[in-house]
A and B are shown apart, each in its own frame.
Chain A
């Protein structure tokens, strides 16, 4: 037994008060039958936002959930807030036992946490209520939070549910008289609000459970969501509004552009960096490399007043040599301006291609990248030709593993707002073809009569496929070596990693790894005369495996491609006894070709795999899974050698 270290937590209060009527009502709501895996149902999810004439707003959130199954970890009621421009005014909670006996949580049961995790500082905070014990099946946990904030934003995002089923979800917006409201419902058929004076209310009932599933789009693409924007009748509110993407671009450009000014120190740095560069592309690459090396440090301040979209001045970022995504973008733009290249900041959602929706012109973004006005003759992959803005080369200076001309996987095929003042538009970022992120591998190996193997493995990683290795190479050499050993051992068993070489042609988007490997037991000798080997184990492992189970959500696959060649010299006095039949698969999701040949005293295995960027409906899950399983099985097909 360990003498416990005392961590902190909230303190109680359990008082013998009753729960309010709305909690009783939510607890009494009949619950339909759900799959046994569903642990709880939200009987009420409600948020009421009241906007004052000065644009400040008060949000009252009510929630109630019924426990259906025993829970290993109790659900926690949580609300985020901006600690500079707002506060949680009150946070109450109630627990109704299955018999209906109430427990009331006092304000001292609330824990207040910083939202900052990896970032240096974040004014965003959370308050949370953990009900702890008592959540037996049949119990109801309910809470009410009131938050107030001052903001210049005039829109609001309300997800009708998370993955738990919801019986009643309601959003109510109360505006000052005469204000206008626009709304859009995402992932659901349109809903007209109920309007009473200047009170608008949207409601959905009986929302089903959304089971988290492998390789499915995020919850934001599955759960119904509401986006509302409101517009004051006249000025004086202090709100910034945008009725279309152009207006939003104009506003965000106002915030972003001043920081991208090419001041004297920035111009001097640009001149220094590009001094040896001969072409425009070389100059851009030199600037890009410099901004990529700028340390990433995120400080979130004054978010409700546009702090999340206002970079530090480029010369400040240059001096400090650190900044966040918008700071890096501003510095990149300032450096580009110094050499006469025009560019724009671009707002994007970095972690989900499907998050941003064109029908709701509002800030749906969490990341900034750069769009460079590129000359027509520049044909790098991450470019798009825009009818009004011209050829734009998209570049993410925050990604240290993505060279100019490429784009991180999650940012491809996504909607992004080019901040070109009032001319700015929402654009679709390029989706780069699988071949541009392919892996090519060549293996020359020699097998011993006992099944041991020595091999020289060469792998060339193109585009985004090089990212994980680049990240490892940025770290300690020992960790890089151990990662290689772990990855190879997973399929080859015990091995000794010999010489490892790598060369990174970063600007060309190519990384090559060469390594010598000795595998203790690559083949298995049987009956003293048969030697069984799987040449495919020397190629990179299959990219995807989907489980055999019913599917609710679409399947989302990111493009993958590799071509592999494995040549194994057969031991003396052995010959090929059995080779797998060649395999060819063509499907809407990609293609697979594999063949095994005896070539002199060697066995040659060659395969090419291409998986396309796919968003397939759940009804096609079986086909997608079968296609991927055939690739995995095919790659592991054994070859039988026999002693002559």
Chain B
């Protein structure tokens, strides 16, 4: 890697000046095994989590950036000491697998196990294995693996290794939470020497308060956090970056960033840089003109361009792109000047940011005011303008001025209608670049009506409890995108088979015929599924009654939340609406036994649940259900509200399972 920049000014380490020249010849803090204390040997119970099977007594990482010849490198010395408490913990502690890519080297792996009786078993070199996980076209992903010897209950297991990186040093995430609890996490950090770069290193904490940094005499500053619980995932949790304890290590220019000027400057700079790459060749100009021919108005032009690009550019990671084409694209992108928009369009394969660049280039050719927008990610770091670094706006979309305001498009989200962005970008901040006045806008959260599931069933119930009839479903917006993701690219027969398999999960006895799946590849229309269905045993026969669930589509549904406790906040991805209409012709000779509705449910601003049951002429039951969630952007709920949220969904689940009874009418008598 090249040196970032020759030294124009003296560096200042963000959290304290360093003595230049230190540590070049001195041992780093992880050079030796640290003494094992009697307290560690005698420890019988975990400290951080009483249920933990294994706990790290410490996890130390020494991060040192340094110059090597004309290049820069980052060297990380990892040192982990574990204590084993249970059989599961023994399993967790016994093997280590370190995967790494080109540009990273793993070396100096050492390990040992201190048994409860004090015996020390060393990790031997022949127990450390290297393998190329995958290699292709000169690129390799590698792994270094080892099994720790002599691991048993009560043992102390410790290992350390050196990791050298010669790729970009600008950003690195320092993780403090691991797969097991850690009593003490320490990062020792030493930035690049002052004579090497003109930038300074900074640390930004997430989900914790940065403690005072300790500076030692060897030039390292350290961050120490204690009692770190293990990180575990939960359903519908915020993005990991929003809950996990971590810190961003980064370099930035020495001059202090002015919150008032920083983002406008970024907006101008990005605009200028990307405008340069939007130079269209004649083919692109011609393609743009053809794509918008006859379009009425700016919005129609933008939509036509977007449709054109979705039809003519495949995503780099689409399964239909061969490994060969993929690598060819990657290598072209690695050229000094990247690929021109004309080359991108011609290749037919693009990354998502490239797609948007081509979109902007074509938009400019047809008279649209279009420019790149830097967009945050709701599933990663929640952006705030006070975070003065483009790292926090990781996505590039395109903003088009329509009717005096900015409308943001993303060509790459091809499973969604053009008016919708990925749920990760909905509700996020976007910096619309401009040569003069860049501006922040908030991207809207789509309302429930944009993501609907509308279902209809016309069914006939017979006296034996079998049900038969026609089903029609329409899935739109984000709901449609999820469904499309499952079906896209499959042959018609395979799509029908998928539908069949899904229904059979709920009704193993179901017979499905006349299955139709439509609009899988057209997200501008709801995805439609139709089929004819026959299910035996839908209603249960008792001596004199037939019991059945009128809300057909909810049969076999599971409660959304089952865990009694909750670690993190609850974040739904998007708002949605379900609307069901079920008509059930009742079997002759039966009549409903005082049918009751399960009742409506209002749960405040987030949404509502409505059920209406109507008997028509004693021979047909009509069941209508509407469930709306996420109204007004109410998608995020604090952990303390978990019992209420869980309760709402349990109540809905219970009402969805509402049973009605049919009784043989007096005229037909008992069977």
Residue from B101, B510, B562, B596 in contact with A527 in the complex, judged by beta carbons closer than 8 Å = B596
C-alpha gap A322/B488 in the complex (Å): 45
The contact of A494 among B324, B493, B559, by CB within 8 Å, is B559
B286 within 8 A of A: no
Give the docked Cα–Cα distance between A494 and B422 (Å): 32
> Considering the chains assembled together, what is the distance between the CA atoms of A157 and B333 in angstroms?
44
Q: A11-B331, A320-B150, A548-B509 are in contact. Are A295 and B129 (CB under 8 A)?
A: no
CB of B320 within 8 A of CB of A299, answer no
Residues of the A chain whose Cβ atoms lie less than 8 Å from the Cβ of B377 = 2
CB-contact partner of B563 in A7, A106, A485, A530, under 8 A: A485
Whether B659 contacts A321 by the Cβ 8 Å rule is no
**Cβ–Cβ contact A474 & B490, under 8 A:** no
- Max chain B Cβ within 10 angstroms of own Cβ: one of A70, A105, A293, A578: A70
Chain A positions 588 through 616: 1 when the CB is less than 8 Å from some CB of chain B, otherwise 0: 00000000000000000000000000000
**Nearest Cβ on chain A to B499's Cβ, whole angstroms:** 12
> Any chain A CB within 8 A of the CB of B321?
yes
**Which of B131, B145, B355, B661 gathers the greatest number of chain A CB atoms within 10 Å?**
B131
Interface contact tally, CB-CB below 8 A? 287
Measured as residues with beta carbon below 8 angstroms from the partner, the interface class of chain B is: 35 or more
A14→B136 contact, CB < 8 A? no
Q: Does A375 contact B (CB under 8 A)?
A: no
Among B91, B232, B322, B659, contact of A109 (Cβ-Cβ < 8 Å): B322
B225 interfacial by beta-carbon distance below 8 Å: no
From B232, B323, B352, name the one whose CB has the most chain A CB atoms within 10 angstroms: B323
When the two chains form their complex, are residues A120 and B542 in contact, meaning their CB atoms are under 8 A apart? Answer: no
**In the complex the two chains form, is B131's CB within 8 Å of A121's CB?**
yes
Tell me the nearest residue of chain B to A67, going by C-beta. Answer: B491
Neighbour of B324 across the interface among A11, A524, A581, CB < 8 A: A11
CB distance from A473 to the nearest CB of B (A): 9
A1 at the interface (CB under 8 A from B): yes
A586 within 8 A of B: no
Other-chain residue from A105, A113, A526 in contact with B134 (beta carbon distance below 8 A): A113
A residues 480-502 in Cβ contact with B at 8 Å: 481-482, 485-486, 489-490, 493-494, 496-497
- In angstroms, Cα B163 to Cα A399, docked, is 36
Answer yes or no: B137 CB below 8 A from chain A CBs: yes
Cβ B323 vs Cβ A109 within 8 A: yes
| Closest chain A CB from B588 CB (angstroms) | 22
Contact of A524 among B593, B651, B658 (CB under 8 A): B658
Interface pair B654/A494, CB less than 8 Å apart = yes
Verify B543–A578 contact, CB threshold 8 A.
yes
Contact B494 A1 (CB under 8 A): no
A578 and B540 CA atoms in complex are apart in Å by 13
User: In chain A, what residue has the closest Cβ to B52?
Assistant: A476
List the A side residues contacting B351 at CB < 8 Å: 3-4
Per the 8 Å Cβ criterion, residues 487-528 of A in contact with B are 489-490, 493-494, 496-497, 520-521, 524, 526-527
User: If A295-B151, A548-B511 touch, does A72 touch B319 (CB 8 Å cutoff)?
Assistant: yes
- Chain B residues contacting A120 (CB-CB under 8 Å) are 95, 97, 129, 145-147
Complex interface residues of chain B between 581 and 602 (CB less than 8 A to chain A): 593-594, 596
Q: A2-B395, A71-B491, A524-B658 are in contact. Are A319 and B322 (CB under 8 A)?
A: no
The reply to whether A131 and B322 form a contact with Cβ atoms under 8 Å apart is yes
Q: Are B491 and A130 in contact (CB under 8 A)?
A: no
User: Once the chains bind, are B563 and A482 in contact (CB under 8 Å)?
Assistant: yes
A341 at the interface (CB under 8 A from B): no
Cβ-based interface call for A146 (8 A): no
Q: Which one of B203-211, B270-278, B408-416, B609-617 is at the A interface? A: B408-416
* Closest residue of A by beta carbon distance from B330: A6
Interface secondary structure of B, over-half rule: mixed
In the complex, the answer to whether A72 meets B490 with C-beta atoms within 8 Å is yes
Q: Is A478 an interface residue (CB 8 A)?
A: yes
Residues of B within 8 A of A629 (CB): 508-509, 537
Q: Do residues B650 and A3 form an inter-chain contact, with CB atoms below 8 A?
A: no
Bound form: Cα–Cα A118–B194 in Å: 45
Query: Known contacts being A2-B352, A74-B319, A629-B508, is A10 close to B136, with CB within 8 Å?
Result: yes
Q: Which residues of A contact B322 (CB under 8 A)?
A: 12, 74, 109, 130-134
B647: nearest residue on chain A (CB-CB)? A494
Q: Is the beta-carbon distance between B653 and A493 smaller than 8 angstroms?
A: yes
Q: Which residues of A contact B71 (CB under 8 A)?
A: none
Contact residues of A between 275 and 295, Cβ < 8 Å to B: 293, 295
A108 interfacial by beta-carbon distance below 8 Å:
yes
CB distance from B97 to the nearest CB of A (A): 8
Closest approach, in angstroms, between the C-beta of A87 and any C-beta of chain B? 14
A14 in contact with B129 (CB, 8 Å): no
Query: Is A573 an interface residue, CB under 8 A from the partner?
Result: no
CA distance A632 to B537 in the complex (A): 10
Q: Is the CB of A1 within 8 A of B540?
A: no
- Chain A residues whose CB sits within 8 angstroms of the CB of B51 once the complex forms: 476-478
With a cutoff of 8 Å between Cβ atoms, the chain A residues found around residue B74 in the complex are none
Residue of A nearest to B315 (CB): A4
Q: Which residue of B lies closest to A133 (CB)?
A: B320
Interface set, chain A 539-566, CB cutoff 8 A to B? 545-549
Q: How many Å from the CB of B234 to the closest CB on chain A?
A: 9
Q: Which of B53, B324, B333, B497 contacts A10 (CB 8 A)?
A: B324
Q: Is the CB of A1 within 8 A of B411?
A: yes
Interface segment out of the listed A173-181, A241-249, A387-395, A633-641: A633-641
Q: Would B395 and A1 count as touching, CB distance under 8 A?
A: yes
Contact of B328 among A1, A7, A12, A114 (CB under 8 A): A12
Given A1-B413, A4-B316, A320-B147, are A526 and B540 neighbors across the interface (CB < 8 Å)?
no
B88 interfacial contact with A, CB 8 Å: yes
**Bound Cα distance from A114 to B326, whole angstroms:** 20
A1-45 contact mask (Cβ, 8 Å, vs B): 1 or 0:
111101111111110000000000000000000011101000000
CB-nearest residue of chain A to B413:
A1
Q: In this complex, which of B489, B492, B508 has the most chain A Cβ atoms within 10 angstroms of its Cβ?
A: B508
B150 CB to closest chain A CB (Å) equals 5
| Docked CA distance A69–B351 (Å) | 27
Q: When the two chains form their complex, are residues A1 and B397 in contact, meaning their CB atoms are under 8 A apart?
A: yes
Q: In this complex, what residue of A is CB-closest to B53?
A: A476
Closest CB in chain A relative to B467 CB, distance in Å: 14
Q: Chain B contacts of A474 at CB under 8 A?
A: 86-88, 91
A116 within 8 A of B: yes
User: Judging by beta carbons under 8 Å apart, are B559 and A548 in contact?
Assistant: no
Complex Cα–Cα for A477 and B316 (A) = 42
Q: Which residue of A lies closest to B398 (CB)?
A: A1
Task: Check A72–B489 contact: CB distance below 8 A.
Answer: yes
Please, which residues of chain A bring their CB within 8 A of the CB of B152? 293, 321
Question: A131: which B residues are within 8 A, CB to CB?
Answer: 322
Pair B509/A111 contact, Cβ less than 8 Å: no
Q: B504 — which chain A residues lie within 8 A by C-beta?
A: 547-549
B interface footprint on A117-151 (CB within 8 Å = 1, 0 otherwise): 00011100000011111110000000000000000
Interchain CA distance A537-B356 in the complex, whole Å: 53
Residue A354, interface by CB 8 Å: no
Q: Contacts of A235 on B, CB cut-off 8 Å?
A: none
Bound complex: CA A11 to CA B326 (Å): 7
Complex interface: chain A residues within 8 A of B564 (CB): 481, 485, 496-497
- What are the 7 tightest A-B residue pairs by CB atom distance, in nearest-first order? A132-B322, A494-B650, A69-B491, A72-B489, A36-B493, A12-B324, A11-B137
Task: Give 9 new A-B contacts, CB below 8 A, not counting A476-B88, A494-B651, A581-B543.
Answer: A11-B137, A12-B322, A12-B328, A114-B132, A133-B320, A134-B322, A521-B654, A526-B594, A633-B540
B positions within 8 Å CB-CB of A: 51-53, 86-88, 90-91, 94-95, 97, 101, 121, 127, 129, 131-141, 143, 145-152, 232, 314, 316-317, 319-328, 330-331, 333, 351-353, 355-356, 375, 377, 394-397, 410-413, 422, 424-425, 488-494, 497, 500, 504, 508-511, 537, 540, 542-545, 547, 558-559, 562-564, 593-594, 596, 646-647, 650-651, 653-654, 657-661
A-B pairs with beta carbons under 8 Å apart, 17 shown: A1-B425, A2-B422, A3-B352, A4-B317, A10-B137, A11-B138, A11-B331, A69-B492, A109-B324, A114-B131, A132-B325, A322-B94, A474-B88, A493-B559, A493-B650, A526-B661, A640-B545
